[in-house]
Amino acid sequence: MKQEQINRHEILNKITPLIENTAMRFDLIPIEIDFEKENHRWFLRIFLFAKGRGITLEDCENVTRSLNDFLDELIPCKYYLEVSSPGLERKLKSNREYLLFQGSNIILKLKSGVGENEDKLFKAKILDFSETEGLKVLRLEDEKEFLITQDKILSAKLYIE
């Protein structure tokens, strides 16, 4: 199969259940699976999360070893596999991540301000998240709680003190 004919969405749909099941066997959650072409090379990147602990090199190696042979059968081209942790200051990219990182500190950037000072950028702790109601946060500077609807959020990034 020529590289131009590769449908990345089709491949992602095929490999995602395999990656999720493999990660689950090691008590891990893949929070992002990305298959993309960069500089004429294909990269499969898997970012892992573990509740209550950090991701270790051993976690990444276990998932890599368990997936290697199966992925080669499902991906019809040469690719580079990268398995890693999401990083200490990851930008949150999905609703699921708001739930996974509940209790974590974030830097929140909003389209319009909240509170008396109409703050658009502040540090907060994720208290809760609901797709219908939005993101419930505790602003760290004054310990005030806010419920922010998704349409107001420009970006949220994990924040480590």
Q: Which domains does the chain have, with CATH numbers?
A: 3-84 (3.30.300.70), 95-158 (2.30.30)
**What percent of the chain has a predicted confidence (pLDDT) above 90?**
58
Q: How confident is the model at residue 89 (pLDDT cuts 50, 70, 90)?
A: confident
Cross-strand partners of 25:
none
Give the pLDDT of residue 2: 44
Cross-strand partners of 56:
none
Give the pLDDT of residue 18: 96
Q: Regarding predicted confidence, which is higher, 40 or 112? A: 40
Residues shown for the chain? 161
Q: Where are the beta strands (DSSP E) in 6-133?
A: 29-38, 41-49, 79-84, 105-114, 119-130
Rounded distance between C-alpha atoms, residue 61 and residue 67, angstroms: 10
pLDDT over 90 (residue 90): no
